[in-house]
Structure 1
Amino acid sequence: MEREDLQALLTPEAMRLLDEFAELDTTKDALSAVTALRRAGADARTSAAVLTQLKLRRRARAKLGDFANRMLFTEDGLAQASRLQVAAHHAQRFRAAEVRRLVDLGCGIGADALAFAAMGFELVAVDIDEVTAAIATHNLAPFPNALVHQARAEDVDLAEFDGVFLDPARRAQRRGATERGESRRLADPNDWQPSLGFAFGAAENGRAVGVKLGPAIEHELLPPEGEAQWVSVGGELVECSVWLGGAARAGVRRSALVLRDGGAHELAAAESATEARDAEVGELGAWLHEPDAALIRGRFVGDLARRLDGRLVSPSIAWITTDEAVTTPFAQSFRVVERFALDASTLKKELRRREIGTLEIKKRGVDIDPAEFRKRLSLRGDASATLICTRVGERRVALLAERA
């Protein structure tokens, strides 16, 4: 977002338009939306800025619920913002560490800061970008216990705080970029803002520190102390957070947190991800279980297999098999109906015979394109099923299955 766009938004008139046209469908009928805004007296810049915010607010509701209805956003800021239930989890970690004065470095649009402020911390939110800091100021305005500063994270005196949360910027804006969110990923952690070394170093003197990282962070980049936690929401892997100093739990080096509508479920281990043990490989049983992405990335597949009294179907492939049905919040389960060679012509005949016209294709450990493979099967019929394309031992197989 350009500074001029933000200035156009931060007026009583623009705020009135955002409220008045809150239910305007800006994707199906953009022309009518522009006409309605112009008739309401908005100039071209204000109309464009209001339409963009209405679009982003609609998208943000999936992450932030009703909070989104009064917030302002940027494309990149919304993409990088924590979901509300994840931000609440971050806040609970600091509460458990008995933090009172908390600084959020790299606060972005303020999604995590909203949870921190709502939890009652004395909060300072910091962002290096002028426009982003102004947006965070607007978003945090309802909370008198929250202040926003525009500053470099490295220039903040951390001695004033007993808790630090950092979300290092891992993308840099491209030159001439527009509101389309055109940015490039920074591969070197030393180039992040602030750097990974600075983030981990904030835990000196036992200070409670949380560092939000991308879920694909290399295990070798994680610190030798503290706790690394992989988090998924509704089956989607969203982050790896590192908890250090007073925010780290004793005896826990890694954990996987699975957040679903039914609640929160966690596995924890005393050893790091690089020390995790796989399970034994064995014969295919009557049931297959696909571990949640947080468990796969946190290297908990072996732990889950032992918990389920199961085994892997092939080395280094995250499918667990059991002889009996088991229930777990940490995996999706499938009953194996029949086993075939991974051959399109054979499968086409078998699926036709069963009148399967709706097919979910899952693949792991085999090099196929599910969309292209589906075309080759020429599906036809009213029945539905799941096809699991994988390896059992060293053999490529297709397993016709039913979801539990």
Structure 2
Amino acid sequence: MGYEFTTEDVRYLSDAAAELSEVDRLELSPSTHLADIGRVRARFGDRSGALVETVLLRRRADGKLAGRHWLLTDDALQQATPTVVARHRATRLVDRDVHDVTCSVGADLSALVGVARVVLGSDLDPVRTAMAARNVPGATVIRADALMPCSRGTVVLADPARRSGGKRRHDPAALMPPLPNLLDVYAGRDIAVKCAPGLDYDKLAWDGEVEIVSLSGGVREACLWSRGLAGSGVRRRATVLDADGGGWEITDAEPDDIPEREPGEWIVDPDGAVVRAGLVRHYAARHGLWQLDPRIAYLTGDTVPDGVRGFRILVQLKYSEKALKQELARLDCGVAEILVRGVDVDPAVLRPRLKLRGNRSLSVVLTRVGRTPTAFVCEPGARA
């Protein structure tokens, strides 16, 4: 559990740039922590906890939130939308009046300022609203319950809390506010709701668009877009972002016709956003690929899409631990990257049992083709 900030802490920290800078010059590592805390207490007394916690949270926020000006709480930082993702979402709300009804400390508000016409934020937590007002001076921030609408004619942006005391909540009804209640309250309004990417959206009977977003190769979130904000004819979208904000998208409005063929020269593992969004076939059709098996997300083809890692197939064999061990020994493999999908194999358990002693680094893709567990031994990290 992190430091419990108060509104008085926020008032103090808002004018404590010099004090924060002084604390930030300390190492504050595990080996120096006690000595550093002693120095801060001697210098700043009962303000030391707020100062140290803010410095540590800002360090953790580097690479996630743009700038070093943020006032944060531990839970708020854990759930805060990365700036790159927030800016992407804001591009779909240009020149709209937007009300973030769960604004927390303002990560999404910050991306909306200068893009949306009017930016309003609200939250039930008085500490977070005070932080948001300090963090995003270009937005209007008030204290309000997300389940009691207090604006009209705005696009509603919501991010129900999925964490409490550092623990994740997975049940939509256990979010804060509960997702079903939130959707009922704003029925008929243009709304965008940030959710966990693993949520079962089909159970929500959502009639708009579900966008799955990955950042730097990791799936970060999903966003439910109401029909008025959804792309034309789009129910599912995968958005793949780079750390610099570049990227690409694919939707279920694109064709998904792909051939059924034997494995090609390469295996391609699509980005996790594509897999979570159920757009593997659409991605394959766009790039002239096909599936190793209709129920498995690994793709294959004779080329690799630009910027995507591919695995050049050297050997295909029916998988057994003994057969794979023999093949890797024959190929002089000493280091093996093991990727698994569709078969019950734990790479961490399998790797030491292979007893690799060669000089070559290879990749092993373990999967199922039809009912047959299959191993593909590949050159790792190769590109067409």
Query: Taking structure 2 as the reference length, what is the TM-score of the superposition?
Result: 0.87
- CA displacement at 1:279 relative to structure 2: 5.2
**Further displaced range: 212-221 or 336-345:** 336-345
Cα 1:222/1:3, change in 2 over 3 Å: same
Q: Is the 8 A contact 2:147 2:177 kept in 1?
A: no
Cα 1:363/1:133, change in 2 over 3 Å: same
Deviations 1:115-162 (A, max 9, x none): 11243542221111222222222222xx2x312222211223232x43
Instruction: Tell me the residue number matched to 2:48.
Output: 47
Task: Report SS of the residue matched to 1:257.
Answer: strand
What pairs with 1:63-212 in structure 2 (closer than 5 Å)?
63-65=64-66, 67=67, 69-95=68-94, 98-99=95-96, 101-119=97-115, 121-140=117-136, 143=137, 145-159=138-152, 161-171=153-163, 173=164, 181-185=165-169, 187-189=171-173, 192-199=176-183, 202=186, 204=188, 207-212=189-194
Q: Is the 8 A contact 1:357 1:379 kept in 2?
A: yes
- CA displacement at 1:355 relative to structure 2: 4.2
Q: Is the 8 A contact 1:87 1:112 kept in 2?
A: yes
Q: Is the 8 A contact 1:358 1:384 kept in 2?
A: yes
Q: Is the 8 A contact 1:232 1:239 kept in 2?
A: yes
- CA displacement at 1:255 relative to structure 2: 1.2
Specify every segment of 5 or more residues in structure 2 that has no aligned partner in the other structure, as ranges: none
Q: How far apart, CA to CA, are the structure 1 residues paired with 2:209 and 2:276?
A: 14
- CA displacement at 1:82 relative to structure 2: 0.8
Cα 1:6/1:364, change in 2 over 3 Å: farther
Instruction: Tell me the residue number matched to 2:34.
Output: 31
Q: How far apart, CA to CA, are the structure 2 residues paired with 1:332 and 1:291?
A: 9
Task: Report SS of the residue matched to 1:386.
Answer: strand
What pairs with 1:214-363 in structure 2 (closer than 5 Å)?
214-261=196-243, 263-270=246-253, 281-322=260-301, 324-328=302-306, 332-363=309-340
Cα 1:6/1:376, change in 2 over 3 Å: farther
Q: How far apart, CA to CA, are the structure 1 residues paired with 2:352 and 2:257?
A: 36
- CA displacement at 1:278 relative to structure 2: 8.2
Q: Is the 8 A contact 2:79 2:162 kept in 1?
A: no
Task: Report SS of the residue matched to 2:269.
Answer: strand
Q: How far apart, CA to CA, are the structure 2 residues paired with 1:2 and 1:278?
A: 54
Cα 1:396/1:9, change in 2 over 3 Å: same
**Further displaced range: 287-296 or 181-190:** 181-190
- CA displacement at 1:190 relative to structure 2: 7.0
Cα 1:55/1:381, change in 2 over 3 Å: farther
Task: Report SS of the residue matched to 1:379.
Answer: coil
Aligned partner of 1:265: which letter? W
Q: How far apart, CA to CA, are the structure 1 residues paired with 2:372 and 2:56?
A: 48
Q: How far apart, CA to CA, are the structure 2 residues paired with 1:373 and 1:357?
A: 14
Q: How far apart, CA to CA, are the structure 2 residues paired with 1:94 and 1:215?
A: 21
Aligned partner of 1:333: which letter? G
Deviations 1:197-224 (A, max 9, x none): 43365262xx532111111121313454
Q: Is the 8 A contact 1:9 1:46 kept in 2?
A: no
- CA displacement at 1:33 relative to structure 2: 2.4
Instruction: Tell me the residue number matched to 1:391.
Output: 368
Equivalenced residues, count = 377
Q: How far apart, CA to CA, are the structure 1 residues paired with 2:330 and 2:51?
A: 55
Q: How far apart, CA to CA, are the structure 2 residues paired with 1:200 and 1:292?
A: 33
Q: How far apart, CA to CA, are the structure 2 residues paired with 1:50 and 1:218?
A: 40
Q: How far apart, CA to CA, are the structure 2 residues paired with 1:118 and 1:32?
A: 44
Q: Is the 8 A contact 1:3 1:131 kept in 2?
A: no
Aligned partner of 2:282: which letter? D
Instruction: Give the structure with the higher percent helix.
Output: 1
Cα 1:389/1:25, change in 2 over 3 Å: farther
> Percent of counterpart pairs with the same letter?
33
Task: Report SS of the residue matched to 1:42.
Answer: helix
- CA displacement at 1:334 relative to structure 2: 1.4
Cα 1:17/1:373, change in 2 over 3 Å: farther
